[in-house]
Amino acid sequence: MSLQRFTQDALSEWMRGKGPRSDIVISSRVRLARNLSGLPFPMLATSSQSSDIVRRVEEALRSDNRPAALDKAELIRMDDLSDLEKRVLVEKHLISPHLAEESRHGAVVLSPNEAVSIMINEEDHIRIQCLFPGLQPQEAWKLADELDDWFERRLTYAFSETTGYLTSCPTNVGTGIRASVMVHLPALAMTQQINRLFPAITQVGLAVRGIYGEGSEALGNLYQVSNQVTLGQREEDIIEKLTGVVRQMIQHEHSARSRLREISLTKLEDRVHRSYGILSHARVLSSKEAMERLSDVRLGIDMGLISGVSANVMNELMVLTQPGFLQTRAKQRLDAEERDIRRAGMIREYLSMKREGQ
């Protein structure tokens, strides 16, 4: 496996299959924050201490009886990556913007199918991330828990009998778990019900964030729903609450889609086909407009209003048309106007060539 493999393919292998409720739920993720005992958190660690953390993780990975999920996994140091390569990994949700931009002596361990991503020296020494397609937070948790147990037998974690796992951010203290589900909610956005739904979600202890997590914008009607508190709660209870709330969101989105079909089918068809037409013929497309149009087309596919195009093509284009991927494919730096031109060209090419069954 080479770095080029991770930065050239838009869709990770785990995303190529359909998961449960994949018409609305794009992916499920569980992340565990862990720190090594006796060492300062990354923000206070010296260069030698940060390097030592990477070395310890690397030694653990070389030990026998690695879990199947870590077979042939690669450790990649951030210092060995260009800014563009880091950006591509962010766009694929394999590393966080913080690890890409601010981490000192950071690294990431990636499994061949990219379902496992272990960030080193991000806000915490180790962040184990597991990704599954569709609504599968329980499955993601089981794998993350297995990997966590394996590392804990080889590394000494910072742990308190009274508060649990110690983390750099107080909101992660306790279980250190952050479970999240990425959902596509175009109908709720169109009917403006989303403005009432999100405040209700925050009242039950969950957070709604943009496509790249905290502080990011919700592009293409994609949102991340995750737990906010880990202290004093069992991991299983956190996962159960998140799953229950997301199931309710799915019901609301389905109801909104049915309502749109009943009261304004012609307008809805016009919107999704107009967006498909723009994507098929436009010569200049900004990132924001491309995501909005792709969201419309994805809705049209899921509702049976557009045929001959796979939903996976839409998933792939949502990544391929991001700035990092565009410039990696072009093998050069591009200004905003050049990216907009190349983005439009790439989408036209994909929609003409990658139709369902071809």
Q: Which tokens hold the place of 50?
A: 């940060």
| Distance between first and last Cα of the chain | 28
Q: Would you say 210 is a known binding-site residue?
A: yes
CB count within 10 Å of CB 358 equals 8
Q: Are 40 and 49 in contact (CB under 8 A)?
A: yes
Phi-psi region of 213 (alpha: psi -120 to 50; beta: other; left: phi over 0): left
Q: Would you say 154 is a known binding-site residue?
A: no
Determine the Cα–Cα distance for residues 298 and 312; give it in Å rounded to an integer: 9
Q: Would you say 28 is a known binding-site residue?
A: yes
Q: Would you say 117 is a known binding-site residue?
A: no
Q: Would you say 254 is a known binding-site residue?
A: no
Q: Would you say 73 is a known binding-site residue?
A: no
Q: Are 306 and 333 in contact (CB under 8 A)?
A: no
Measured CA distances, 155 to 159, 165, 236, 257, 320 (Å): 12, 13, 24, 49, 37
Determine the Cα–Cα distance for residues 346 and 323; give it in Å rounded to an integer: 12
CA 334 remoteness from chain centre: 25
Nearest by Cα to 92 from 186, 183, 177, 8: 8
Q: Are 155 and 56 in contact (CB under 8 A)?
A: yes
Q: Would you say 304 is a known binding-site residue?
A: no
Written as one letter, the residue type at 98 is H
Q: Would you say 234 is a known binding-site residue?
A: no
Written as one letter, the residue type at 352 is S
- Half-sphere exposure of residue 248, counting CA atoms within 13 Å on the CB side? 12
Q: Would you say 50 is a known binding-site residue?
A: no
Q: Would you say 214 is a known binding-site residue?
A: yes
Q: Would you say 259 is a known binding-site residue?
A: no
Determine the Cα–Cα distance for residues 249 and 198; give it in Å rounded to an integer: 10
Q: Would you say 181 is a known binding-site residue?
A: yes
In the chain, which residue ranges form alpha helices assigned H by DSSP? 3-8, 47-61, 83-91, 97-101, 137-152, 186-190, 194-202, 235-281, 287-302, 311-320, 323-330, 336-353
Q: Would you say 287 is a known binding-site residue?
A: no
Q: Would you say 105 is a known binding-site residue?
A: no
Q: Would you say 127 is a known binding-site residue?
A: yes
How many residues make up the chain in this entry? 358
Place of tokens 């070395």: 55
Q: Would you say 180 is a known binding-site residue?
A: yes
Binding residues for ATP: 27-31, 93, 127, 178-182, 209-214
Binding residues: 27-31, 93, 127, 178-182, 209-214
